[in-house]
Structure 1
Amino acid sequence: LSLRDGKPHYVALIPRVWAHLQTDLRHPALAPLAALVQEVLPPPTPAHLAHLTSGHAT
């Protein structure tokens, strides 16, 4: 949404959403999904978030 719809303020929500996701993925039934998320989604580091807000992310 940040890039597609020009709403860079949405990037500020990513750390909160990430924290909720990590909490929810602790449930034993979600272990396979947790492993997949860990493998394919990078954690929202300050550098990654800055890149997303710069408008140059792909």
Structure 2
Amino acid sequence: MIKIIRFRLHPTTSQEQKLDEIFTIYNKIKRIGYNHYFELIKVDDWHKFWNSIEIPNSL
């Protein structure tokens, strides 16, 4: 579910709490995404290494 929260340049205390919750969730998801991305890069590098070994052996 998507919620839209409008706030002024100087939000009220209740709006600050909502914004803090939103940004903590956003940062957690962003961190998880970066961790998955780095794992995929490691797997891709490992896969390239194996391809470079297999290709000369198949000739």
Q: What TM-score results when the alignment is normalised by the length of structure 1? A: 0.33
Structure 1 or 2: more helix by fraction: 2
State which structure, 1 or 2, has the greater radius of gyration over its C-alpha atoms.
2
TM (norm. structure 2) is: 0.32
- Quick one: higher RCO (CA 8 Å, sep 6+), 1 or 2? 1
